[in-house]
Structure 1
Amino acid sequence: MLLAISFIGSTLRTTYIRDRNISLLTQVNILSNQITPNFYGIQLENTRTYLQDLIKGYSLDINARILLLDNNGTVLIDSYDAMLGQNFNALTEVKSALEGYDSNQVYSLPSGENVMYVGVPISDRNEVMGVVLASSSIDDLLQNVNLTLKRVALLSGIGLLFTGMVAFLFAQVIASPIEKMIQLVRSFSRGNFGVSIKIEANDEIGQLAESFNDMASKINQVDEQRRKFVSNVSHELRTPLTSMKIISETLLHQPSWDESVYREFMQDIDGEVSRLNRIVDSLLYLVDLERDELVLETQITYLNYVVQNVVRNLKPLADQKHIHIDVEERDRLQFHMDQGKIQQCLINLVSNAIKYTPENGKIRISIYRETTDACITITDTGIGIPEKDLSHIFDRFYRVDRARARTTGGSGLGLSIAKQIVTLHGGDIQVSSAINTGSTFTVRLPIRYSGVGA
């Protein structure tokens, strides 16, 4: 009987400690993922304050002391503000974390308190930048185990055999989902964010499994946003780089040019480099993985000038296919807009028109005012878009013809980016098309003289 009680006690302790370990490890991993994008800027006051508030908030939520260490094991932030500057590189959990592994251990302190330590690396591109070290008392857990043992002892009179069977079944029921969760947490820590746990239970383990699934789903969404963010950046930069390459090749392949022509081409290249710098600078602010919205920097700008600049930049691409671009300026329109973003929007639309218009085709761009809107229509004599696809062409990564998209180099992001830019300006894009006749894209932008938010 004593052996059975001892076995139950050992099983309960192991199970509860595993449960607490998974819970603490999961929470610290979430915290580590939130700290990673901001760790490089920890020397900045705003970033350090944000990380302090984040760590102290987590400390209260999970009832644990949390230390943020650099890659030398020195404390940068302490949720209790008592160990700043101390070094823990000799601690086993810190050593393992600095090697890139999660680790945990239970210690019995001289005071008699039992404490669980968990160390999780903060890494970026397989480089360990620091460590999140958390410590949590498990005395309440052990007290619950002892209370359970007392209750089991009251029922031990039923018989040693029955007690052994109950203990065995209890261990199987509890340990099996815990082992399953441990395997999935390990898979999760390796970057497989698409995992989920299927445990049908109404107890704490079931709740923990549900919490893990929610966390995995959210982090998976963040990872998908990050991937889409990288794709958007690549597409934003591709077209201006192509224009600069064509201009530079034109200069290199011609034995001599007039100085005025050189200056004009170099001014075009300089303008494209400046625009690329503005795009990169804007994208650097999009570090929040839950948002992929474009940032507007508005100023009073002539829309006619923006259209002329787009045509001038894309003319080499059109000339390669002997496509004539005609610009009709019915009105001269000046209002608040983000010039770089609107130019990127029009580049996406016009380059698409060039891409899907056969050789010797025509593209007509009209600029006019309609009540309180500035309108730009881009009409081509291209291959057209099937009616069934018109409602989807602004969806990200949507392609009308994937085979043709491969030959033209399309990524399925250009129209989506254009739509997002116009929407952020409070405008709209409409499209009409006929197969083998051509397409017309109409961009409407509200004319405002005191900012986009006016």
Structure 2
Amino acid sequence: MGVSSQINYYEKKAIDQRVRYTQKQCAVLSDQIVMNGFRNYNMSSLSDEAGENVFEVEQLANNLEGRILLVDSRFKILADTYNRNCGKYLVTKETIHAMKGEEVAYRYIGKQYLQVITPIQDKNNDKSDVRGLIIAMVSLQNCNKMSEYLYDQRDNLVGIFFIITLIFSVLVALLIRNNFRRMQNELDIIAAGHQEEGLGQENFREFYNLSSSFNKIINRYKELENTRQEFVSNVSHELKTPITSMKILADSLLMQPDVPVELYEEFMNDIVHEIDRENQIITDLLTLVKMDKTQADLNITSVKINDLLEVLLKRISPIAEKRGIKIRLETMREVVAEVDEVKLSLACNNLIENAVKYNHDDGKVDVSLNADHKFFYIRVKDTGCGIPEDCQEQIFERFYRVDKARSRETGGTGLGLAITRNVVLMHKGSIRVHSKEGEGATFIIRIPLNYIS
């Protein structure tokens, strides 16, 4: 409830109490008039009894701090405590209603006075026999003063509240400005290259959340910067290794004038092998760069995954047969999905090739395909050396190798699984690995049947 509504409520309550009190006093006077005789209250009468009765009326008027009129059944004013209208007639809508026997009829006069009209009638006889009216006009000055006082207090409180609010707003604005300036200065320091500083934690929750978000961005930037530096270092090392090997082989040939043809051919074959390895690293790096672009680079078409896997196995089978490794494809159902055929082929090819390269001679590679109403699943399981548990979360990082010496022997670049993971993520899918050292490894790809843009 608002302040104005409360003031109006108290004002109405005070007026109602004034009305009830006036009605009660007029009812007492009405009973006296009926008992003493109505004509004995005529102010124009000079009798002693009339004078005493009129004194009662004047006493009530003083008690009510108002004016009392007595009107007979012909609407003639017999008594007026102000001595202004005696002998005149008072015919109004209110007096007519009261003359019909209505107990109460009252109204406001300019909101300054209250008019209460009480019928004069013998309650023991016929109530319709109205002998006259008592009209009490009571001042509402006290009620109005109370209302004015309350409104003045309200205005004062509103003014005080406004001033306090203004001061508080200015203080909060200054505090917020200072916090923003401090944050701006810290951001300027960070922008100058001092990322290790970070933002201070402010006291306000909103500033605390903002600072935390900026610090998360800064930490993410640090991680990306560290990853970039590590990536550049790895690229430099991987590209430098084949070049160093070729330089050593070439210098060895140049330092020996009379090199046997057999040794010369062996060295040249080694140089060609290093060149092929360098070319493979560059190709994989370019592939990764393309993978880092937006999803718009995907060429999504409806592809029968069964056929895609069969083509890959035919391509890899000759390599597996040289080492006596058996490759088996198991398809639970026909699967058609919305994918980029070229990129998905590359990802699956990397997994199956790794299963062959890092397998034991006469081992096995099982490739299975299944689907439900939402996803399709490709599982590649081998019987190779397995992956240590502490390495399983890192194998998808660029240039990471579990066994670096063996990877170089097999021609691995350390980028294949990173490429595979990027392809799967571009298709809004996921890839997991389950492995125990010495028991082989199982990779599971899950990709939505319908591409989610």
> Normalized against structure 2, the TM-score is what?
0.38
Q: Which has the larger radius of gyration?
A: 2
Query: Which gives a bigger RCO, structure 1 or 2 (Cα 8 Å, sep 6+)?
Result: 1
